[in-house]
Amino acid sequence: MSFNPANKIQDLQNFGEYGGVNPSISDSSTYTFMSAKTMFDTFEGNTDGCYLYSRHTSPTNLHLSSALAAMEGTETANVAASGMGAITPVILQLCGAGDHIVSSRTIYGGTYAFLKNFAPRFNVSTSFVDITKLDIVEAAITEQTKVLYCETVSNPLLEVADLKGISDLAKKYNLKLVVDNTFSPLAITPIKFGADVVIHSLTKFINGSSDTVGGVVCGTEEFINSLKDVNDGASMLLGSTMDSLRASSILKNMRTLHIRMKQHSHNAMYLAQKFESDGLKTVYPGLSSHPSHEIYKSMMNAAFGFGGMLTIDVGSLTKANELMELMQHKNIGYLAVSLGFYKTLFSAPGSSTSSEIPEEEQAQMGLSDGLIRFSIGLDDDIERTYSMIRECMQALHILSPKSTLEETI
Ligand code: PLP
């Protein structure tokens, strides 16, 4: 039987303290001890099942963390107040002054900005490379390199990382492979291919209701404990802690993630095929025209598909903006930067989520002005959605009324 991370979530039993079918929400920032010695031992990290202070850990955050660890197949996990609140402590825990990172050049703009502009303040430098070229990745590794960093499916260009190939390099040079799996929860399990640390922005598909930000780091007990160490743990000391109320609501949403991911993937595949046959430049890992389609297929937990993200290029930023405004006006979706919502969300990454990346670098990596990134929603009737999008494209002369490739063949 193939690995199904949804079963791992299903199999968890989290009862509330009065037998509630949902775990009780812990409503305390601090915890009492029956003896002073136990408090001291807890500080030293020598007690199991004792809570000290909610910036360190709370019962509700542990419930959510264990569901995420089960989903990703890691020993444990630690939730954070946002995706960036998960990413930045991981980098700072693994790297100190003088260290070096080799990162994919197409990553979320905030992560790029952190590595490019902020980490150098700590004398941590980063080489940004084309992660799909293993020889280029290897050539960028130096004596100082500590971390290989990538997104399984990258934001916004949807490049797919060959996790097995990259993790072989990490092992060869004794580096840690850190993978942001935000775009492909359930569909790809990076730990199976040798990732050391798996991160998510929970803000996106996992929570799925665009009502909160959140993040998680999944990894070994040893690494997660080091992040939470009261003396030198980056998560503990930088303090990006998730609130228990939010941990509880995210845990409840997570239980429907498998159903939602199937629908996101189904709808995105339908639209990607239609857009491509209309002659639009379309990028979606599920299309055989995607350069890493086979690699994605070799890694995927098949039931969950190729994910909910796709891009099209409509030629110019002006056209992209006009199309997005019209689609919002017709209530096809929202002009918004995030992703993983029940409604379709669209944005032009060059001028929004990736605007931290300088224009000339955007051009080098293929991030063109006319690119629109879609996070496809849970629409029940995706054929109707397609017709509506097509009408908008025709109204703006992005598609001429009868001249799609499909109809001219
Ligand atoms: N990783 C990816 C792939 C993202 O798309 C984002 C946000 O867009 C983040 C991380 C950062 O997450 P958050 O906004 O929750 O801090």
Pocket test for ligand 1, best of 104, 150, 182 (most atoms within 8 A of CB): 182
pTM: 0.96
Query: Which residue carries 């955007």 as its tokens?
Result: 362
197 touches 188 (CB < 8 A): no
Identify the band that residue 366 occupies on the pLDDT scale cut at 50, 70 and 90.
confident
More confident residue, 141 or 367: 141
What is the average pLDDT across 336-352?
94
- Dump pLDDT digits (tens) for 270-329: 999 999 999 999 999 999 999 999 999 999 999 999 999 999 999 999 999 999 999 999
- Dump pLDDT digits (tens) for 322-342: 999 999 999 999 999 999 999
pLDDT at 403: 53
Question: How many C-beta atoms lie closer than 10 Å to residue 396's C-beta?
Answer: 15
Distance 201 CA to ligand 1 centre (A): 5
4 has a pLDDT exceeding 90: yes
CATH number at residue 377: 3.90.1150.10
Q: Are both 298 and 198 inside the same structural domain? A: no
Joined together, the tokens standing for residue 110 give 């905030």
Q: Is 28 helix (H, G, I), strand (E, B) or coil?
A: coil
Identify the band that residue 1 occupies on the pLDDT scale cut at 50, 70 and 90.
low
Q: By C-alpha distance, which of 323, 324, 341, 345 is closest to 333?
A: 345
Q: Are both 226 and 294 inside the same structural domain? A: no
Joined together, the tokens standing for residue 44 give 């030293």
Q: Are both 48 and 112 inside the same structural domain? A: yes
Identify the band that residue 45 occupies on the pLDDT scale cut at 50, 70 and 90.
confident
Q: Are both 242 and 268 inside the same structural domain? A: no
Cα 119 to Cα 10, 90, 94, 122, 395, distances in angstroms: 39, 12, 12, 5, 46
Pocket test for ligand 1, best of 152, 198, 204, 242 (most atoms within 8 A of CB): 204
402 has a pLDDT exceeding 80: no
Q: Are both 131 and 212 inside the same structural domain? A: yes
Distance 212 CA to ligand 1 centre (A): 12
**How many independent structural domains does the chain possess?**
2
pLDDT at 408: 42
Using the atom order of ligand 1, give the atom closest to the CA of residue 111: 10
On the 0-12 / 13-18 / 19+ scale of CB atoms within 10 A, 218 is buried
Q: Are both 224 and 85 inside the same structural domain? A: yes
pLDDT at 409: 41
Task: Determine the structural domain holding residue 370 and report its residue range.
Answer: 257-408
What is the average pLDDT across 130-152?
98
